[in-house]
Amino acid sequence: MPVNSESSLRFDGRVAVVTGGGRGIGRSHALALAERGAKVVVNDFGGALAGDGSDSGPAAEVVAEIIAAGGEAVANTASVTDPAGAVSMVDDAISNFGRIDIVINNAGNLDPCGMPDLTPESIAQHHDIHVLGSFNVTRAAWPHFTSQGYGRVVLTASVGFFGHPYLMAYSVAKGATVSLARSLAVSGEDQGIKVNLVAPAADTRMVTDPELRAKSGLPPRDSSAPLNPERGPERVSPMVVVLAHESCPVNGEMFAAGLGRFAKVFLAETPGVIDRGLDAEGVLARWDEIVDETGYIVQVSSAGAVEFRERLLTDTP
């Protein structure tokens, strides 16, 4: 459905780079931003689910779709793992549209495997695409953000960061992505830059592919059944639109989105106990107090967490 031109969440005059924008959730983000007036660099290396191979078709197809709908977009097929490729995405934004305002880090891969068969190479590949890729593209855009005093960055997290026996490399990478985003958010907060995370849930290749489901320990699905639109990528993009918009109300936060649900995901710590004389036996004896979640604290940054601890210790006799 076309977006009302009077909508408050418009992106007229804004320019976005969307990585992994040729398929699935990335495609949905690119189309949603373009529909609301953004000019979009659609980046997609066109790799397979595991991250190997390349194909220029997906990015070009999304660009054609945006242009056919009256929007403006260009394709970029560089790999996010290549720093020069990341720079080329930002250069494409500047050379074609004159500026860069938004980076949506969506590119990723998934190659399920668990212990003890998981290899260091798999850990490294997932890290390179999810974490280093997000860093490379954000880093390339950062000088433009700081010079104009404005920028919006969205990184893609996952409930995988809670831990999964067969998605270990993916989960490790997503955990690192969360820490990267929170560190970037603190770095940019005084410069008009906001950095947040979305943890999407949708029926994409990573969820529906029969081989991946088997390797992930998931039951098979009926491949002949039509896809449920309520489980589509389009149900994720409204949150990304908010986080990418100039009116974005948060910085350094993570939100679940998809399947008709939107929610905040956060890390917290319990108040715990303060007793400088506790030995290991004392810690175990007071375990129920240590893990009591009543009055939990949500820390904004590492520095804030350190200051909180110092203040507690100072105020406690």
pLDDT in tens, 200-245: 998 765 565 566 666 667 666 666 666 677 778 999 999 999 999 9
Q: What is the mean pLDDT of residues 119-128?
A: 96
Tell me what pLDDT residue 49 has: 64
187/59 same-domain check: yes
pLDDT in tens, 267-316: 999 999 999 899 999 999 999 999 999 999 999 888 888 888 888 778 77
Q: What is the mean pLDDT of residues 254-258?
A: 97
Strand partners, 236: none
Q: Give residue 141's pLDDT band: very low, low, confident or very high (50, 70, 90).
A: very high
179/297 same-domain check: no
Tell me what pLDDT residue 59 has: 97
In the chain, how many domains are there?
2
Phi–psi pair at 258, nearest 5 degrees: 135, 160
Question: Quick check: is 102 in a domain?
Answer: yes
Instruction: Name which of 152, 174, 157 is nearest 248 in CA terms.
Output: 152
Question: Quick check: is 245 in a domain?
Answer: yes
E-only strand ranges, the chain: 15-18, 39-43, 73-76, 102-105, 151-156, 193-200, 254-258, 261-265
Question: Quick check: is 217 in a domain?
Answer: yes
Question: Quick check: is 9 in a domain?
Answer: no
Structure tokens at 217: 């320990």
Q: 88: Cβ–Cβ under 8 A, 6 or more apart, which residues?
A: 76, 78
- Active site includes 296? no
234/289 same-domain check: no
181/285 same-domain check: no
Q: What is the mean pLDDT of residues 180-198?
A: 98
Question: Quick check: is 272 in a domain?
Answer: no
pLDDT in tens, 1-50: 455 555 589 999 999 999 999 999 999 999 999 999 999 999 999 866 65
Question: Quick check: is 4 in a domain?
Answer: no
What residues make up the domain containing 62?
Answer: 15-265
236/102 same-domain check: yes
133/178 same-domain check: yes
68/118 same-domain check: yes
Please report, for the domain that includes residue 71, its CATH number: 3.40.50.720
Question: Quick check: is 182 in a domain?
Answer: yes
- Give the least confident one: 16-20, 109-113, 251-255: 109-113
Q: Which of 150, 166, 170, 296 is catalytic?
A: 170
- Examine residue 271 and say whether the peptide bond preceding it is cis (omega within 30 degrees of 0): no
Question: Quick check: is 271 in a domain?
Answer: no
Buried-state track 235-245, b at ≥16 Cβ within 10 A, e below 16: bbbebbbbbbb
Tell me what pLDDT residue 232 has: 86
Instruction: Name which of 1, 20, 35 is nearest 205 in CA terms.
Output: 20
Tell me the C-alpha distance between 54 and 31, whole Å.
22
306/200 same-domain check: no
pLDDT in tens, 39-94: 999 999 986 665 566 678 999 999 999 999 999 999 999 999 999 999 999 999 99
pLDDT at 263 over 60: yes
Q: Give residue 266's pLDDT band: very low, low, confident or very high (50, 70, 90).
A: very high
CB 197 within 8 A of CB 181: yes
169/289 same-domain check: no
122/212 same-domain check: yes
Tell me what pLDDT residue 1 has: 40
75/184 same-domain check: yes
43/172 same-domain check: yes
